[in-house]
A and B are shown apart, each in its own frame.
Chain A
Amino acid sequence: MTALGFLLDAAVVLLLVGLATRLLLTRHLFEAIVLFVSYGLTLSLAWVRLGAPNIALAEAALGAGVTGALFLNTYQRLTERIGDGPKSPLLEDDGSRDPPAWFKGVLGGGVLLLVLGAGWALLGAGRRPAFLPHEIAARLPETGVQNPVTGVLLNFRGYDTLLEIAVLVAAMAGVWSLDRGSRRFGRARGEPDEDPVLHALTRFAVPVTVVTAVYLTWVGSTEPGGAFQAGSLLAGAGVLLTVAGVLPPPTAASRPVRAMVAGGMAGFILAGIAVLPLTGQFLHYPEGWAYPMILGIEALLTVSIAVVLVELFVDVPAVPEPDPALESVDPSGDPLGRALRGKEGS
């Protein structure tokens, strides 16, 4: 069994390195994106082999799923723009813009040296006594949850998770600030897709997905699962509903959408502050309150994460032709000033 296991590990590792190399070397964008998704799925196999089912779930849903979907969606915009000309540099990179050979050579040599050095250093490192894992295991009962990863994420290092949500919100605000606005995606409300099969799948899959997401959020305290995995599942349901025209695409213009995006973070911060008078430290849950508070925070986060992911996926704009007014270097370096000036002139 160990020999078989080793063969499987070796195959996974070879596949990973092979896929990565091919995807970085290929000149065709579509191929690269397909390889990226395959790479992500292979990687989640690797996480299972390394005894990390929590990560395998997240990798399949977020790393391969959402990221792959983001790339495909963006790719779709590019093909719309160039029509049928497959030789556009947007989709086929002939490498003519790559840096000169000497740069590649020096960098490649450096990278090779680093691979050898780091590999040698890490393989040479011996066993060390593990302190932290034992400590985490010993104090896990105090966190109110039984899944050690959830315990670390939402109690021992809850602050990191709060800031991680802030990263998502920052990316969301950044994407919104690109002002791509209310591009119609799929169909408008009240104009359901005429395709009966898609409709049937939506009606069947969305309830199942929602139930599974609720289950994943809830089970995250004892078993693999949690807000991020559940949120990305819920996002899948949201994308399906938007594509089928049941839900309007969420945009920055809609106040409930903004409220849901900010809600998870707001709830998390307020929970952290609420316990301050009782325990004196931010996010230090009072005794007996850890489990309900963690569950409440996870539920809020699940909704927030789902809305952010749907929004990031749906809100990809068509790429317009270059606008001559904006293409040239802006002389003032200050478009607001220029915009105002245009206003006054007219």
Chain B
Amino acid sequence: MPADLTLTLVMEVASGILIVAGCLFFLAGTVGLLRFPDLYCRLHALTKADTLGLGLIVAGLVLQNPVWPARLQLVLIWILALSAAATVCHLLARSSLAAGIEPIREPGGSSAGVTSAGEDR
């Protein structure tokens, strides 16, 4: 039994670390959304960081959950969220380019960058 107990403990700790790391990515993504200068940078921050964060949290939860179908479901959720985020990001960027919104070229950005997420369309 001690071997099992150790395994469980290791799994618990690993799971905790993964989930906390995932949350950190979400935090980073949110900070990026609020602080980045233009739509394209924000999309980048949101989709990349959040997808990775979700992946880490899913991995942590898979370690915690002993049931195989539930683990598969969790992974399926991640795959679906991943594909939806990627597609939506692509569509948003494409329609913004088509609408004539120019990406910012220089680091630092222009004055337009300080508007909050709610105000740009």
Contact = CB atoms under 8 A, between A and B. Distances in A.
B80 interface: yes
Interface residues of A, number: 14
Contacts of A205: 80, 83-84
Given A201-B84, A204-B83, A208-B80, A195 B121 contact: no
Given A198-B90, A205-B83, 4 more contacts: A28-B119, A34-B118, A198-B91, A201-B87
Which 9 residue pairs are nearest across A and B when measured between Cβ atoms? A31-B118, A201-B87, A197-B90, A197-B87, A34-B118, A30-B121, A198-B91, A201-B83, A204-B83
A28 B115 CA distance: 13
A195 B118 CA distance: 27
Interface string A198-215: 101100110010000000
A198 B94 CA distance: 11
5 contacts: A28-B118, A30-B119, A31-B118, A195-B94, A201-B84
Nearest to B88: A201
Interface of A: 28, 30-31, 34-35, 79, 195, 197-198, 200-201, 204-205, 208
Contacts of A198: 87, 90-91
A195 B91 contact: yes
A30 B118 contact: yes
B114 to A, nearest CB: 16
A30 B116 CA distance: 12
A28 B91 CA distance: 24
Contacts of B80: 205, 208
Nearest to B120: A30
A201 B85 CA distance: 11
A113 to B, nearest CB: 33
Contacts of B94: 195
A69 B87 CA distance: 18
Interface string B46-84: 000000000000000000000000000000000010011
Contacts of B86: 197
Contacts of A79: 121
Contacts of B83: 201, 204-205
B118 A197 contact: no
A185 B121 CA distance: 21
